[in-house]
Amino acid sequence: MLKIALIRPGTTDYDLQERIQGTLDIPLNEQGLAEAAQAAEELRDKGLEVIYAPPSEPAFRTAQTISENLDIKMRKLDRLQNLNYGLWQGMLIKDVRRKQPKVYRQWQEQPEHVCPPEGEMLEAADQRVRLAMMKLLKRHKDGMIGVCVPEPLLSLVRRFIAHGELGDLWKPTNGHSRVEILQVEPEEVLVKG
């Protein structure tokens, strides 16, 4: 049995402002740095062996903090780079809702059918997540690993592992805590994957 700690990156100023971050490299703010340290403490006695993160600033810095505090290995995983929201990046979520109400509603109800202007389809990000997670599940059969990724990729990872619903992709927490531990049988997920 493998345990996977899904870790949401610490807060950035864009999170507080409810801006769409996407692939923009926004540094963690003071709150985010404290959250990264808190996540490390939450994981301290859980047996975490390695943590994976994309090169994006918030996820990488959060994973780096956890890695340093727990004295564990950290690995960069490019395929877990966040969804490219194109021209929506940097916009306030409420401005997208106001300026493009139909697209906003469709993103809520059927996000796989929406491509942000000059951005990336959710399906492309979902494929990247599948490939990255399949590689990790082939490499790790038991023990505990960490995966630090922002929304909506965190929801895509959760859906791949637990076959759950995506939820509201505009919400950074998406109803989950900063650290969520899932138990998985790698072989079962790989067969379904």
Distance in angstroms (rounded) separating the CA atoms of residues 160 and 89: 25
What confidence tier does 87 reach under pLDDT thresholds 50, 70, 90? very high
DSSP state for residue 19 in the 8-state scheme: B
- C-alpha 35/C-alpha 79 separation (Å) is 24
This prediction has a pTM of 0.91
Buried b (16+ CB within 10 A) or exposed e, 142-155: eebbbbbbbbbbbb
Conformation bin of residue 62: beta by default, left when phi > 0, alpha when psi is -120 to 50:
alpha
pLDDT at residue number 176: 60
Q: What domains are defined for the chain?
A: 2-192 (3.40.50.1240)
- At 148 the pLDDT is 97
Of residues 183, 177, 169, the one with CA closest to residue 38 = 177
| DSSP-derived 3-state class of residue 73 | strand
Beta bridge partners of 75: 52
169 confidence band (pLDDT: 50, 70, 90): low
